[in-house]
A and B are shown apart, each in its own frame.
Chain A
Amino acid sequence: MKFIKPAQQNPIDQGRVVGKPTTRIDGPLKTTGTAVYSYEWKDVAPNAAYGFVVGAAVPTGRIRSFDLAAAQEAPGVLDIVTYKNAGPLGLGDFNTAPLLGGPKITHYHQAVALVIAETFEQARAAAGLVKVDYARGEGVYELSDQKDSADPTDAAPDSSQGDFQSAFERAAVKIDETYETANHAHAMMEPHATIAVWEGDELTVWSSNQMVEWGRQDIAKTLKISPDKVRLVAPYIGGGFGGKLFVRADAILAALGAKLVQRPVKVVLQRPLIFNNTVHRPSTIQRIRLGASQDGNITSVAHETWSGDLEGGGPEASTQASRPAYAGENRLMQTRLAVLNLPEGNAMRAPGDMPGSIAIEVAMDELAEKLGIDPVEFRVMNDTQVNPDDGKPFSRRKLVECLQRGASEFGWEKRPSPPASKRDGRWLVGMGVAAAIRGGPATKSAARVRLESSGKLVVETDMTDIGTGSYTILAQTAAEMLGLPLEQVEVRLGDSSFPVSAGSGGQWGATSSTSGVYAACVELREKVRMALGLNAEAELNFADGSVSDGSAERPLTDALATGPLEAEGEIDFESRGDDHSYFTFGAHFVEIGVDVHTAEIRIRRMLAVCDAGRIFNPVSARSQVIGGMTMGAGAALLEDLHVDARQGFFANHDLASYEVPVHMDIPHQECIFLDGDDPLASPMKGSGVGELGICGVSAAIGNAIYNATGIRVREHPITLDKLLDQMPEPV
Chain B
Amino acid sequence: MIQDEDFKVSRRGVLLGGVATTAIASTLSPTSSAQTSLPQVEPVSLRFTVNGQSRELMLDTRVTLLDALREHLDLTGTKKGCDHGQCGACTVIVNGQRINSCLSLAVMHEGDEVTTIEGLGTPENMHPMQAAFVKHDGYQCGYCTPGQICSAVSVLEEIKAGIPSHVTEDITAEVGMTNDEMRERMSGNICRCGAYSNILDAMSEVAGEIA
Q: Which residues of A contact B (CB under 8 A)?
A: 23-24, 26-37, 39-40, 42, 54-58, 64, 67, 69-71, 73-75, 109, 119-122, 125-134, 136, 186-191, 236-241, 268, 270-273, 276, 466-469, 619-620, 622-624, 626-631, 644, 646-647, 649, 651-657, 660-664, 666-669
Contact = CB atoms under 8 A, between A and B. Distances in A.
A93 B180 CA distance: 47
- Which one of A241, A272, A466 has the greatest number of beta carbons of chain B within 10 Å? A272
Contacts of A620: 137, 140
Q: Contact residue range for chain B?
A: 35 or more
A134 B12 CA distance: 16
Q: Sorted from nearest, which 8 A-B pairs have the closest CB atoms?
A: A33-B77, A630-B194, A238-B143, A30-B142, A467-B141, A467-B140, A627-B194, A33-B117
A629 B16 contact: no
A189 B144 contact: yes
A631 B23 CA distance: 25
Contacts of B116: 33
Contact of A129 (B10, B20, B37, B74): B37
A661 B77 CA distance: 24
B41 interface: yes
B110 to A, nearest CB: 19
Given A27-B139, A57-B9, A272-B22, 4 more contacts: A31-B126, A34-B122, A273-B27, A663-B184
Nearest to B143: A238
B65 interface: no
12 contacts: A26-B142, A27-B139, A28-B123, A29-B142, A58-B9, A122-B60, A189-B79, A190-B79, A238-B141, A624-B140, A656-B19, A668-B200
B195 A660 contact: no
A538 to B, nearest CB: 40
B187 A644 contact: no
B186 interface: yes
A189 B81 contact: yes
Given A126-B38, A189-B141, A626 B194 contact: yes
Given A33-B77, A239-B193, A644 B16 contact: yes
B140 A31 contact: no
A39 B74 CA distance: 11
Nearest to A276: B23
Given A57-B9, A129-B37, A133-B2, A32 B141 contact: no
Given A623-B140, A630-B194, A655 B19 contact: no
A32 B121 contact: yes
B192 A664 contact: no
B24 A125 contact: no
Contact of A30 (B30, B70, B145): B145
B194 A668 contact: no
B134 A623 contact: no
Contacts of A128: 25-26, 29-30
Given A75-B40, A663-B183, A651 B20 contact: yes
Contact of A238 (B5, B67, B142): B142
Interface string B66-91: 01001100111111111110110100
Given A271-B84, A647-B16, A657-B19, A31 B29 contact: no
A129 B28 CA distance: 8
B36 interface: yes
B13 interface: yes
B41 A75 contact: yes
Contacts of A126: 38
B55 interface: no
Q: Which of B74, B77, B135, B188 neighbours the largest number of chain A CB atoms within 10 Å of its CB? A: B77
A322 to B, nearest CB: 26
Residue picked from A69, A187, A190, most chain B C-beta under 10 Å: A190
Contacts of A187: 192
A624 to B, nearest CB: 8
A638 to B, nearest CB: 12
A31 B140 CA distance: 10
Contact of B26 (A34, A190, A273, A655): A273
Contacts of A466: 141
Nearest to A625: B194
Given A125-B38, A623-B198, A626-B198, A189 B9 contact: no
Nearest to A271: B82
Interface in B181-205: 182-184, 186-200
A654 B21 CA distance: 12
A401 B81 CA distance: 41
Given A26-B142, A28-B126, A37-B143, A121 B60 contact: yes
A664 B187 contact: yes
Interface string B113-154: 000111011111010001101110101111111100100000
B199 A270 contact: no
Contacts of B200: 663, 668
Nearest to B179: A668
B39 interface: yes
B174 interface: no
A190 B143 contact: yes
Nearest to A670: B197
B6 interface: yes
Interface string B136-177: 010111111110010000000000000000000000000000
Given A73-B37, A623-B193, A666-B194, A655 B144 contact: no
A654 B194 contact: no
A186 B38 CA distance: 36
In this complex, the member of A26, A30, A31, A622 whose beta carbon has the largest number of chain B beta carbons within 10 angstroms is: A31
Given A55-B27, A75-B40, A469-B140, A268 B80 contact: yes
Nearest to A646: B12
Contact of A29 (B82, B123, B190, B199): B123
B11 interface: no
A466 B140 CA distance: 8
Contact of A655 (B86, B117, B126, B149): B86
B187 A75 contact: no
A132 B2 CA distance: 10
B165 to A, nearest CB: 10
Contacts of B180: 664
The listed residue with most A CB atoms (<10 A of its CB), out of B62, B71, B130, B179, is B71
Given A28-B123, A28-B126, A623-B140, A655 B84 contact: yes
Given A30-B139, A70-B36, A654-B22, A121 B62 contact: yes
Nearest to B20: A651
A34 B77 CA distance: 6
Contacts of B131: 31
A34 B126 CA distance: 12
Nearest to B197: A669
A22 B145 CA distance: 19
B63 interface: yes
A129 B86 contact: no
